[in-house]
Structure formats: C-alpha cells, structure tokens
Amino acid sequence: MIIVIDGLFFQLYNTGIARVWRSLLEEWAVSDFAECIVVFDRAGTAPKIPGIKYRTIPFYDYGRTDEDRGMLQQVCDEEGADLFISTYYTTPLSTPSVFMAYDMIPEVLGANFDEPMWQEKHRGIRHASAYISISENTACDLVKFFPQIPSNLVTVAHCGVANNFSPASLEEVNYFRTKYGISKPYFLLVGAGSGYKNANLFFQAFAKIYSRQGFEIVCTGSGILLDPEFRSCTSGSTVHMLQLSDEELRVAYSGAVALIYPSKYEGFGMPVLEAIACACPVITCPNSSLPEVAGEAALYVNDDDIDALADALCDVQKPKVRNSLIAAGLEQAKNFSWSNMAKTVSSALIEATLFRLNLKDINLIIFPDWSKLEEFLGLELVKVVREIATHPDKSKMTLLVDTTNIPDEEANLALSSIAMNLLMEEDLDVSDAPDIIALGHLNEIQWQALLPRLHARIVLENDNKDKIASLAAEITPTFQVHNLTFTPSLHEHPEKIYSCFYEQ
C-alpha cells in the first residue's frame, strides 16, 4: 500500500495548514504508517522529518495546472500509488484521492471562483472518493455546498495542539515583555490581518473602554493598522506589531489579559486552542467551528456587537471570570492532540484504499487454496457463488475472495467464468446481484482495517489454512456454505459481530 502526499502547501505558506501537516508527519514518522507514505516534496520545500520517505517533484505553478496534473499522475504511477492526498488542492488524473477540507471560507463569504486556486479546490473535491475535515462545521459546510457528497464519506479529524503550548512561567513572561517593550497589561490579536478575522470589531470596542490607556495591544497579523480609524481607536495606547516564533507566541498567550478572536468564520481556529492550552482567556464569536474548539472556555459575543465586546473586555479582567475561563480552557485543550488527529487521518486514508472492495452491509470472505483449483476447488467455488447469488440478502452482500497464492488475473478469470456459467444455467436476476471481489494483496495495516468490517468467513473444504492462520482469521465468525442464514440482530447490530475481533 502506497499513499502519496503532495507537500504543496509547504511551498506556498508557513501558516496553520503547514503546522497541521508537519505535526501529522512527525506523528506518523514514529509509527508503522510511515512505511506506507511518500511525500512529494515540491522543489525541496517540505520539512525533512526522519523516518518519512520523500520524492522531489517540480515547483508548483498555478499557470500550468494541466501539466501539473499530468506530472502528478506520472509520479503516482512510478511510485505505485494506491491513494493520493494533497496538502493543498492538487489532483492527479486518475489515481484515487482523498480531499482534505480545512475551511469553506471562499464558499461561505464569497470569492472569485475564476481564480486558479479555487478552481483547483473544486476540481479536487469533485475528483475525491473520500473527504477529511478538520472540524464538524467545515464538514457540514462541505456537504452543504457540494450536496452530491454523502456525509458518511466525510471523516472529521480535529487539529491538535503541541505540548510546547503550555502555560509559561512568570519569568518567561517578564522576559518577553522586556524584550518587546511591553510595559502595561495587553490584549492579544493573532493572525488578525484578514478581513474575515474582524479585527475592526475589537478596535471599535477597545475605543469604548474607559480605562483603555492602561492597556497595550499585541498583534501578530499585518496591515490591520493601515486604516486611520484603527489608529484613532487606539489613541493613547501602544500597539505592538510582532512576528513571533512558536515559543514566543506561547509566552505571549500566557501573559495576555485575553486573546481577542472575533472571527466571522474559521475552519478550525488554531489560535483559540493554543491560547486555552497556555492558560489564556479567550473572547471570540459563536461562529462556525469556534464553539467546537473553545467549548465553555470562552466569552462569546456576536461578530457585529461592539458594546458586547467592550463589556467582555472588562469582564475578562475580573478574577472570578478569568480563573473560570482558564480552568475550563486547560480542561478543554485536553480533548485535542496531534496523535489523535494522526490516528484518525491515517485510519481514514487506509479505509479509502479499501473502497475498491465495495464493502456492503454483509461482507463475507473465503480463503481458497488455489493450488487445488483443477481438482476440487472449482466445484466448491461454484457452490459458494450459487449460494450467494440466490440468497435473499444478495443485494446487501459482498463476497471477498483471497487470492494470495494465485495471480489476480487467473483468480478473476476463474470467478468470472463461474459467475457467468451460473447466470446462464440458472437464469439469475443480475439487477441486484452480490459483488464478488478478488482481494489482491493487502498489507497488515489494511487487514487490520478490514477485519472489523467482515461479517463472517465461509468455511471451505479446500481452505488456505496457512493464510487463515497468519491472519488469525479463524476468530472470524464462520458459516458453512449450505448454512448462510443471517439473523436480523446481525444486520441491525453489527457491533455484536465486530466485538469478537477486538475481544480476542
């Protein structure tokens, strides 16, 4: 199993999405999943993480997207890729792909969809066979704007927060304040340069605070003070425009009166999570994914309510309110980790490599000993296929056929021949026929993903006992070919079947 990851985003920006992928790769690098992935490194721009395999590919150019798709398909073929996922809106021509949805800001707030970036995003959405979203809200918006996507194909994988985002000591905070000349208590705005971040609401509310000259403002965005209105709102107070490393940002969170994050829309809201992990109170808006991330660890105001934000700026200074927000924030932050996200994303990618098996409500498996095909196995396979094809639940069934010790072409030929002969002999209705799928080669990780999805193993006289033993597949519930009776409880409560795999 080879899953390729286009590291395009590392070429473009060093913002939150780069943090997500760097964190995922660091988690995977120390797991078995690292053996399954190859990162396409755009002209040497991807971070080099020990344990991760890389292949250098050309620099991305939005003016040559057609050529890029052809190039991606070529290198996917050369790598033997089973699945493709991009860090930012690229697609090959035919290799199956998974789309990573970070936000639907262009769709919700409006954008020029003639721009190549958004055209490529929508192309990637249409090409994908499965989807991963970094929040429940983004998943809902994805399905809302692309209703052809079944919601069960979207996996939510919340972002994490690194261990280094933790409360800083008083000494660290004092050093940070001295270094940047911060002499008064300060409010913090992170990444506030974009219009949808709604920084103007903060400045208008700040202007209403009677004691505003007793505070300073620290901003990590750019360009937000170009508007003369903002400068008039902060008259008498010092505004620090800073570019901070992660370590300095951690200390900035820890020393702030509060993080002010009045965003109109977020795909996730990483600064909110980082802030609460650093014991920083948060004031934000009940929009999009923000309540999903902050929970009860924030003061919420509507994104157009200047007076409510002014009141919140005062309330957050009260010791009882502050202490409550800090305690709730530290507890809320425990719900998010990069290790959990890495497990969720890798599981979704592995599941996507199994889509070709067309799994259904009832998934059966057989392990034929193909060395006995000419002698005995052929007649036994005819019995199995006949039983499946005439079963009352046939439309809900997929029969998986292990092809460990036979070339796939020979197995497919044998199964097709059996199926066609039965159709001709018994005049079977093929409109709701079961699927009969030759498994091909699965690695251990794929088998572990498949086993809980199996309903039962059909026992053959000519079983491949070595293969069954190697997979511990003897623990799978078993049926004889003449006794394929499935009770309603097995259909309605598959967890009763699945539990046997985990318990043993």
- Relative to beta strand 97-101, strand 239-241 is unpaired
DSSP 8-state code for residue 474: G
Q: What is the predicted pLDDT for the residue at 223? A: 54
Residues 461 and 173: their CA atoms lie apart, in Å, by: 73
Residues 427 and 417: their CA atoms lie apart, in Å, by: 15
Phi, psi torsion values for 435, nearest 5 degrees: -90, 135
Residues 317 and 105: their CA atoms lie apart, in Å, by: 32
Helix 246-255, helix 270-277: angle, nearest 10 = 70
Residue 254 tokens, joined: 């820890």
Alpha-carbon torsion 121, 289, 218, 23, what sign?
A: negative
Residues 353 and 308: their CA atoms lie apart, in Å, by: 49
In the three-class reduction of DSSP (H, G, I as helix; E, B as strand; rest coil), residue 118 is classed as helix
Residues 304 and 4: their CA atoms lie apart, in Å, by: 43
Q: What is the CA radius of gyration of the chain?
A: 28
Phi, psi torsion values for 354, nearest 5 degrees: -95, 0
Phi, psi torsion values for 57, nearest 5 degrees: -130, 170
The string over 376-385, giving b where at least 16 C-beta atoms fall within 10 Å of a residue's C-beta and e elsewhere, is ebeebbbebb
Contact indicator for 5, 37 with CB cutoff of 8 Å: yes
Contact indicator for 293, 328 with CB cutoff of 8 Å: no
Place of tokens 């829309």: 265
**Per-residue pLDDT of the chain in tens (504 residues, 90 and over written 9):** 899 999 999 999 888 899 999 999 999 999 999 999 999 999 999 999 999 999 999 999 999 999 999 999 999 999 999 999 999 999 999 999 999 999 999 999 888 899 999 999 999 999 999 999 999 999 999 999 999 999 999 999 999 998 889 999 999 999 999 999 999 999 999 987 778 888 889 999 998 988 888 899 999 866 555 566 677 787 778 889 898 999 999 999 999 999 999 999 999 999 999 999 999 999 999 999 999 999 999 999 999 999 999 999 999 999 999 999 999 999 999 999 999 999 999 999 999 999 999 999 999 999 999 888 777 888 888 888 888 888 888 888 999 999 888 887 888 888 888 777 776 766 666 566 788 898 888 888 999 899 888 988 999 998 998 888 888 776 678 888 766 665 443 434 333 332 222 232
Residue 179 CB neighbours (<10 A)? 11
In the three-class reduction of DSSP (H, G, I as helix; E, B as strand; rest coil), residue 497 is classed as helix
Residue 270 tokens, joined: 């990483």
In the three-class reduction of DSSP (H, G, I as helix; E, B as strand; rest coil), residue 478 is classed as strand
Q: What is the predicted pLDDT for the residue at 20? A: 95
User: What domains lie within the chain, and their CATH numbers?
Assistant: 3-156 (3.40.50.2000), 170-335 (3.40.50.2000), 357-503 (3.40.50)
Q: What is the predicted pLDDT for the residue at 485? A: 60
Phi, psi torsion values for 3, nearest 5 degrees: -115, 120
> E strands along 8-146, which residues?
37-42, 53-57, 83-86, 97-101, 130-133
Residues 188 and 274: their CA atoms lie apart, in Å, by: 12
Q: Which among 120, 130, 124, 179 has a CA at the least distance from the CA of 153?
A: 130
DSSP letters of 291-331? HHHHTTSSEE--TT-HHHHHHHHHHTTSHHHHHHHHHHHHH
Contact indicator for 89, 117 with CB cutoff of 8 Å: yes
In the three-class reduction of DSSP (H, G, I as helix; E, B as strand; rest coil), residue 447 is classed as helix
Phi, psi torsion values for 175, nearest 5 degrees: -65, -45
pTM, entire model: 0.87
Provide the residue count of the chain. Answer: 504
Residues 396 and 303: their CA atoms lie apart, in Å, by: 49
Phi, psi torsion values for 485, nearest 5 degrees: -115, 120
